[in-house]
Amino acid sequence: MVSGAQETEHIAADKRPLGFDAEPDALAAVEAIIRASGINQTLAPIDCPSGLPNQAYTDPAWFALEQSRIFARQWIFVGSDGELPEVGSIKPIEIAGQPIMLVRGEDQTVRAFHNVCRHRGTQLITEPCALRSVTCPYHAWNYRLDGRLRSRPHFRGPNQVERFSEEVNPELDLLPVRLSSWQGCLFVDLSGQAPDLSHWLAPMLARFGAYDFANIQWIGKDSFTIRANWKLVLENYMEPYHVFAAHPRLLAHAPMDVRWSGRWQDHVFYNDYVAPTLTEGRGAALPHYPNLSDEDTRRGAWTTCFPTFCVEVFADQFTVLVTYPIAPDETYEELHFFVVNEDAAHAPEHEEGRKGLLEMWHDLNLEDVAILERLQKGRKSAAFPGSLMSPAWETPSHQLSQKVLQAIVEP
Ligand code: FES
Ligand SMILES: [Fe+2]
């Protein structure tokens, strides 16, 4: 017979059945950080304290697991074609903690490379820029825009400049990263093993059969550094429960009674509403996609392709929001704004509408940042036993914890 204390210990040590395949090493790494009790909490139903435990929001070891098991194995949006307007345009970005760069070549093709010199591993590019070629600041190895090493001075001795022919030289050229694009949106897959981009995007795009994205045009971007874990940003993005308390302008556009929780279908989250009317920044000022029904004209829809490709679609826009984990308590967020056609993007009479769209998104995001930073601070409390989420509004946010766990452990 076991005493009461031993019995409690026994139950805590027993894990709930995962319900998905797990690689033993990855599962052991998870257990070492959040223990069996943390896995239980993650898999617990919404009507008990549940969700990933605090360590998943604060612990560097957990953060490293997410980077290597999720962000290095999935398609990650890295920017838009419009950010690289000319031959030699370069954008550096960090994915899964690794320095990457996007480069537009002489042939107008955008390529992705590991942003490290083949000599000693120096980070090559630190800021967005436009260059004829890439020269390492340390010993001046010089690379062409397609990644091939062009020259290295003094390497073989004083005043000898080694020049390389047009041939590919895998030992010396910049290391490529798999890149794929859709309608001006650029994605990389560090693993090189993810399913085709089109396959990954298809279920999300299928939700938008009524919208013609063929001519969308990038008009600019915005960015935020948030002192909060990326999952808090995403959970907040998905649930409309906080709209009545945090977003007066959004509430005026679409009141609580036209909203619902949304839902996940495999790796795609989808939520929407049909607003009573159009407002500035949400359909009122810019040209619309052609042939939308009245209902679709007033619809606002937001989706996530796990892990972090988030898209909001209104009658006049295609807005991308992406979170990049920088540290357990820091997230870099980029928003990219696309409008429906050339006219919407460039015509002077739409200047005000474009400005209104960018301002609306900026203000709206600022309303979330302070809350997110307080959420992160709350995760330092050892007394917090897990979230008590609303079954009416937060089921998808609740399920995100399970999706993160699954993505870390799955083979
Ligand atoms: S590290 Fe780049 S040239 Fe030496
Ligand atoms: Fe919000």
Q: Where are the domains of the chain?
A: 76-180, 207-380
Atom 3 of ligand 1, residue of closest alpha carbon: 139
- Using the mean position of ligand 1's atoms as its centre, give its distance from the Cα of residue 366 in Å: 41
Task: Find out whether the beta carbon of 135 lies less than 6 Å from any atom of ligand 1.
Answer: no
Q: Is the model's pTM score more than 0.85?
A: yes
Q: How far apart are CA 307 and CA 136, in angstroms?
A: 33
Q: How far apart are CA 194 and CA 206, in angstroms?
A: 20
What CA–CA distances, in Å, run from 238 to 261, 262, 347? 8, 8, 33
The residue ranges of the chain whose pLDDT is under 50 are 1-12
At residue 13, the pLDDT reads 53
Give residues with Cβ within 8 angstroms of 257, minimum separation 6. Answer: none
Sign of CA dihedral 371, 376, 382, 386: positive
Q: Which amino acid is at 337?
A: F
Task: Find out whether the beta carbon of 120 lies less than 6 Å from any atom of ligand 1.
Answer: yes
Task: Find out whether the beta carbon of 154 lies less than 6 Å from any atom of ligand 1.
Answer: no
Atom of ligand 1 nearest to the CA of 139: 3
Q: How far apart are CA 90 and CA 94, in angstroms?
A: 13
- Using the mean position of ligand 1's atoms as its centre, give its distance from the Cα of residue 95 in Å: 22
Atom of ligand 1 nearest to the CA of 124: 2
Give residues with Cβ within 8 angstroms of 1, minimum separation 6. Answer: none
> Looking at domain 76-180, which of 3.30.365.10, 1.10.1530.10, 3.30.43.10, 2.102.10.10 is its CATH number?
2.102.10.10
Q: Which residues of 192-218 are buried (b: 16+ CB within 10 A; e: fewer)?
A: eebeebeebbeebbebbeebebebbbb
Atom 1 of ligand 1, residue of closest alpha carbon: 120
Instruction: For a ligand 1 pocket test, name from 133, 138, 152, 155 the mutation site with the most ligand atoms within 8 angstroms of its C-beta.
Output: 138
- Using the mean position of ligand 2's atoms as its centre, give its distance from the Cα of residue 236 in Å: 6
At residue 39, the pLDDT reads 96
CATH number of the structural domain 207-380: 3.90.380.10
At residue 10, the pLDDT reads 45
